[in-house]
């Protein structure tokens, strides 16, 4: 198991805000909270979906065509209630969650067994930049998110793709006078 701290956005937040939060957090993914009127799952959206939405001039993260990955909400589960990953072995950013605590590890693994999946939301923190703590079934799933390929799109009206070799954020676009956004 592993944990990730990812920016948490609301359904109505803009694609531009999603890109800004990804840049600030230096991550390739965001978490979108369910609508306040529903008890649905959170959604994991990768950089490719966010930049595709930007290219297609989608306004909000809730309007993305990509359905994202469902993240069951366990923030009110007794293991995580109160926003706290404050039990020993559940520290934020812990690379080996629940190491040295087989009982806790078994409890967390049982949550994955209830709903087949690779991830779930264990906690959220509000603030200027809200974050969600994601628990992954295997360390490799977290690494896939951390090491996702960078994607670049021009910030001009043409929204040109930044093809290989990968560009650097702010590089001039090959096709116009604008610059690349890379996440």
For the segment 35-58, what is each residue's pLDDT rounded down to a tens digit? 776 667 899 999 999 999 999 999
User: Mapped to the 3 state alphabet, what secondary structure does the chain carry?
Assistant: CEEEEEEEECCCCEHHHHHHHHHHHCCCEEEECCCCCCCCCEEEEEHHHHHHHHHCCCCEHHHCCCCCEEECECCCCCCCHHHCCCCCCCCCCCCCCCCCCHHHHHHHHHHHHHCCCCEEEEEEECCCCCEEEEEECCHHHHHHHHCCCCCEEECCCCCCECCCCCCCCCCECCCCCCEEEEC
Give pLDDT, residue 7.
Answer: 96
Specify which of 13-22, 39-48, 75-84 reaches the highest per-range mean pLDDT.
13-22
Q: Where are the domains of the chain?
A: 2-148, 150-183
Q: 134 or 164, which is more confident?
A: 134
> Yes or no: is domain 2-148 CATH 3.30.70?
no
Q: Distance between CA atoms of 6 and 84, rounded to whole angstroms?
A: 16
Provide the percentage of residues in the chain whose pLDDT is more than 70.
Answer: 84
């Amino acid at each position: 198991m592993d944990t990730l701290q990812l920016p948490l956005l609301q359904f109505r937040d803009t694609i531009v805000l999603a890109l800004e939060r990804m840049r600030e957090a230096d991550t390739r993914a965001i978490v979108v909270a369910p609508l306040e009127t529903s008890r649905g799952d959170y959604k994991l959206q990768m950089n490719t979906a966010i930049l595709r939405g930007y290219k297609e001039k989608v306004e909000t993260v809730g309007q993305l065509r990509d359905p994202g990955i469902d993240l069951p909400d366990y923030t009110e589960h007794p293991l995580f209630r109160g926003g706290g990953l404050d039990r020993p072995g559940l520290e934020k950013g812990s690379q080996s969650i629940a190491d040295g605590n087989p009982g806790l590890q078994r409890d967390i693994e049982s949550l994955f067994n209830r709903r087949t999946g690779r991830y779930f939301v264990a906690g959220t923190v509000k603030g200027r930049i809200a974050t969600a703590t994601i628990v992954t079934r295997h360390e490799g799933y977290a690494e896939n998110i951390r090491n996702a390929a960078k994607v670049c799109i021009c910030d001009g009206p043409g929204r040109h793709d930044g093809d290989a070799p990968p560009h650097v954020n702010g590089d001039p676009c090959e096709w116009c006078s604008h610059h690349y956004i890379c996440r």
